[in-house]
Structure 1
């Protein structure tokens, strides 16, 4: 059976609107997919649903379909997206109305069952704003097999929008673990859009990524795939860009999902041709018995002021502000951060300046609202020389808290809804408790003279968030560099390079076939991105910070 060609046109809610048309018109395609749901997005959609129960889905997807649904029908391209968010049935209904308005004969189906908010207390999750289990691919597959042209879902795993069409196309069953695992790997690569084609890539200067195209996975019956993009589009697909994305927001060698646990330590990559990278050898195992659940709550309210400190005596100026800023009522949390971005003898004023941030949180918006920001500004003429702030006084804004939960998969009913018919998708017939993978054999260390230099001279990195944890994947491009990296970049060295992680639990995972190590830093991001606990709350740039740090690197690699 021929390969199925699946292109992904959205990596998050807010991605390039024109990508749907670009990927539909750029070349041949069987299925167009879109990933719209991040942890933060579920909170945003939860707040939308609070205002209007008819909402709760990604509104931009509906706008994209208004412009492109006719084009997809004309080109016989199926559409699968998780844009349904908290209300997949509502989005499906809106799509049917849109199709009727456009005069299009399409079958719209949806997958539901992930939303556990009505059972949250019963399941031990308390009273969250949103509670959604991560469903798998077989609801999507069932919709497609029943003749759906468009399938929208709620919270499925990001890769499931790619795995589902492949499973339907090839007739895979729930125990075809190697095939499913291969599709999960392909899905993980393309679900973040242009991150697979050179976006957010450490070695970006090697390619023209001013306007990268969106990625395509050509998936074969055995689960192997080729990652590519439409000819003539910008960016690049290389072993490096694919490696970077494979390491994105994972943990250990066993990558668990609701349908399969994919062994990422078995992945083999090869550059087949220009902008064509083959993924093969992926092994799969039975999934764990529990489904992960995304839990979002409203944590309270926050505000911040950023004081600009310029020139000499930066530490003394910062201390003066801390002493002078007083509160009528002290917020529940007050966090001061001094970023020493100043340079000595700077020729530009901004380069002579540091930034002192005061972030406050409280359950009462009045405590951290105008009363706080006005108090910060009131000291302007009575404080350090050169006093100014980066923004005028502002009001408090709500913030959210994310945490993962877990529920027995047998307690969650996944349902495919096609033409009014409800098809219940049974959970996986087999499960396997998740356990750490065995440590691989390591190559002989690389020895010889060394020179102090940035890690990024020889290694790439990609980082991101999983709730309150940060993930940092680091890889190299030659066997010789791997002999050095795997022995040199230990947990102790990682903590030395990134002092923010020094007192936190850090776990290292080795991926020999990718010449990579992945670090999971527990608690670096507090209660997750919506809580905005730190600068760079999604840890997007932690990897680049790590690459800028200096190590003793063998001269032969430099």
Structure 2
């Protein structure tokens, strides 16, 4: 029997209904709310909500949005509106919400209704009201009695345009440059809302709350505020705890073994990693578990790994609160159960993050496969020929990049492992340079194809040339918007569309753009750790990395205290620059530590060549920065290796 089975007395034939009796244990102490994380993005598994609704949970939350989906949905919305004004919209377009969400939700609705489970998600994207109507229609089709509310106010295109005209500079969070220096014109803007609106909707009887761009962790914050009745103007420690709880489960299986450095020991059940369940306590601490009878694990390693994902520094900002991470602590309370505490809360920032989408131009890519010896010389041969074929057209290219990807090992065991990809990537605002079929001359494809018979030894093209035809891409710009400019509202359709305005927190604080950054205090002499073996750092160091637009974050962690002293002393900002090698482009690097999980974190400013929709690199989301650095060789103390590798 799990610890939670003894925490609270359950009502017969029921579950959460928001009443004091159901939220409170028999001894009068408010019990934790059980929140299940059902989705970390549009690519997550469709069984999630249905499976989780069968378990002992009070609420199900999920995140379906990313900067990629925000950009694409927002751009399509503007295109649709333009066609509608011009009378060229021949039929009503598909809703600009997550197209997989209803398929995920619909099978779970009977259990949600029977057990009184609450649902809060951000799947509404750019058509939150429409998705609400679609969900309500499905509820009625199944003959159920569920109230569906929605949250609005995240779409701020008009507000941003007005402020631009009034002289607002909108400096970039990544580079510090002003919007006017960006070189692109925003067509759509969407800001991040917090969880207070979700809490208001639940307070007014909603069973399902559909949101657009609320922050990934906001559904958990909203559920926690509602369940525990926290004062959002004062209870910053508790709300900050819920923000980190939400961060831990917002990416679903990321916290149960997905993207985990120790993945090799989880291979047996990797086909079905469990979705996470968090018990969020009245003091803001939480315990992370997973679905029973599923693969993966919940350990300090998997939870620490997810904590380090996509953070920016010691301060984790939300619209409701700012969480201070340096004092966080984790311990295992049992198999597949990790308790998380020690998060401190500060007043929320006066601003919230806003993402702006702009038309970037057109892009295309061509792949040449080369094999065996002298790969770099072969790649140079191809590059010289293609650049010559392009001629004066290169003047109209904003990006013309050749990258040799892979290597041929010594004495290769087969031909495939000896084969590498030479990727040729272009971007331009001139559609005619790239938007040609493979038979047309001129055009990007022909610059590459014309050189096939004078190519390097083994020059081989792929049999699918569709990538070499031009496609539209979008640029994405991240800045800050005053919370006072956001019209955060909750709409209750079952009450004749009653609207509730959600005010900002009464106490807010201005924070500098750059977070505190520091090297370790009292570094150890690395010689004290004894004899060493040179090898990949990842033999003993775990890591997670991610993106925030063009910034990349990367956090490293170890399993033992003496390894922590070694890690914090080894990994200085200077050391990371050296390890990045050719990947380091000269940007600012910020550093801080989380001793409670033996972690060192770095923020690599403007490292990723813009963001997902416009980047010219393979690592579109920064997820491989950490794996690249784990593969770099360092001197590892032999006593650490004797304990076993990740």
TM-score, normalization by structure 1: 0.96
Q: Does 1:286 align with 2:319?
A: no
Residue of structure 1 equivalent to 2:141: 101
User: What CA distance in whole angstroms lies between the structure 2 residues aligned with 1:69 and 1:443?
Assistant: 55
User: 2:571 pairs with 467, 470, 489, which one?
Assistant: 489
User: 1:336 pairs with 389, 402, 406, which one?
Assistant: 402
User: 1:408 pairs with 477, 482, 493, which one?
Assistant: 482
User: 2:288 pairs with 209, 227, 249, which one?
Assistant: 227
User: What CA distance in whole angstroms lies between the structure 1 residues aligned with 2:506 and 2:341?
Assistant: 26
- 1:361-420 deviation line (CA, Å, top 9, x unaligned): 011222123321133123222222222123433211122212211111111121011131
User: What CA distance in whole angstroms lies between the structure 2 residues aligned with 1:352 and 1:427?
Assistant: 58
Q: Does 1:527 align with 2:567?
A: no
Residue of structure 1 equivalent to 2:254: 195
How far does residue 85 in structure 1 lie from its aligned partner after superposition?
Answer: 0.9
Q: 1:334 to 1:520 in 2, by over 3 A?
A: same
- 1:190-231 deviation line (CA, Å, top 9, x unaligned): 000000000110001223433101001100111111000122
How far does residue 81 in structure 1 lie from its aligned partner after superposition?
Answer: 0.3
Determine if contact 1:343/1:353 at 8 Å carries over to the other structure.
Answer: no
User: What CA distance in whole angstroms lies between the structure 2 residues aligned with 1:524 and 1:223?
Assistant: 34
User: 1:498 pairs with 560, 566, 580, which one?
Assistant: 580
- 1:113-155 deviation line (CA, Å, top 9, x unaligned): 1110122211226742431111111100000010001001111
Q: 1:157 to 1:445 in 2, by over 3 A?
A: farther
Q: Does 1:372 align with 2:444?
A: yes
User: What CA distance in whole angstroms lies between the structure 2 residues aligned with 1:317 and 1:144?
Assistant: 63
Q: Secondary structure in 1 aligned to 2:301?
A: helix
Q: Secondary structure in 1 aligned to 2:304?
A: helix
User: What CA distance in whole angstroms lies between the structure 2 residues aligned with 1:270 and 1:219?
Assistant: 15
400-409 vs 385-394, greater mean Cα deviation: 385-394
Residue of structure 1 equivalent to 2:10: none
User: What CA distance in whole angstroms lies between the structure 2 residues aligned with 1:313 and 1:178?
Assistant: 59
Determine if contact 2:381/2:456 at 8 Å carries over to the other structure.
Answer: yes
Q: 1:228 to 1:103 in 2, by over 3 A?
A: same
Residue of structure 1 equivalent to 2:416: 350
Residue of structure 1 equivalent to 2:592: 509
How far does residue 21 in structure 1 lie from its aligned partner after superposition?
Answer: 1.4
Determine if contact 2:517/2:590 at 8 Å carries over to the other structure.
Answer: no
- 1:160-217 deviation line (CA, Å, top 9, x unaligned): 1111011101111212100001111111000000000001100012234331010011
User: 1:82 pairs with 112, 118, 122, which one?
Assistant: 122
| Structure index of larger Rg | 2
User: 2:221 pairs with 140, 143, 163, which one?
Assistant: 163
Q: Secondary structure in 2 aligned to 1:366?
A: helix
Unpaired segments ≥5 residues, structure 2: 1-29, 81-91, 165-169, 171-178, 180-184, 437-442, 642-646
Count residues with an aligned counterpart: 557
User: 2:273 pairs with 190, 212, 230, which one?
Assistant: 212
For residues 369-448 of structure 1, what are the structure 2 equivalents within 5 Å?
369-370=435-436, 371-394=443-466, 395-418=469-492, 419=495, 420-435=497-512, 436-437=515-516, 441=521, 444-445=524-525, 447=528, 448=530
Q: Secondary structure in 2 aligned to 1:356?
A: strand
User: What CA distance in whole angstroms lies between the structure 2 residues aligned with 1:219 and 1:507?
Assistant: 31
321-330 vs 178-187, greater mean Cα deviation: 321-330
Unpaired segments ≥5 residues, structure 1: none
- 1:303-361 deviation line (CA, Å, top 9, x unaligned): 01111112233233222212222126333321111224122332311222232111000
Residue of structure 1 equivalent to 2:57: 29
User: What CA distance in whole angstroms lies between the structure 1 residues aligned with 2:52 and 2:344?
Assistant: 30
For residues 473-484 of structure 1, what are the structure 2 equivalents within 5 Å?
473-484=555-566
User: What CA distance in whole angstroms lies between the structure 2 residues aligned with 1:171 and 1:502?
Assistant: 48
Q: 1:438 to 1:405 in 2, by over 3 A?
A: closer
Q: Does 1:470 align with 2:552?
A: yes
Q: RMSD value over aligned CA atoms?
A: 1.8
User: What CA distance in whole angstroms lies between the structure 1 residues aligned with 2:287 and 2:523?
Assistant: 29
How far does residue 437 in structure 1 lie from its aligned partner after superposition?
Answer: 4.4
44-53 vs 94-103, greater mean Cα deviation: 44-53
TM-score, normalization by structure 2: 0.83
Q: Secondary structure in 2 aligned to 1:327?
A: helix
User: 2:321 pairs with 245, 251, 260, which one?
Assistant: 260
User: What CA distance in whole angstroms lies between the structure 2 residues aligned with 1:252 and 1:92?
Assistant: 36
Q: 1:266 to 1:442 in 2, by over 3 A?
A: farther
Q: Secondary structure in 2 aligned to 1:266?
A: coil
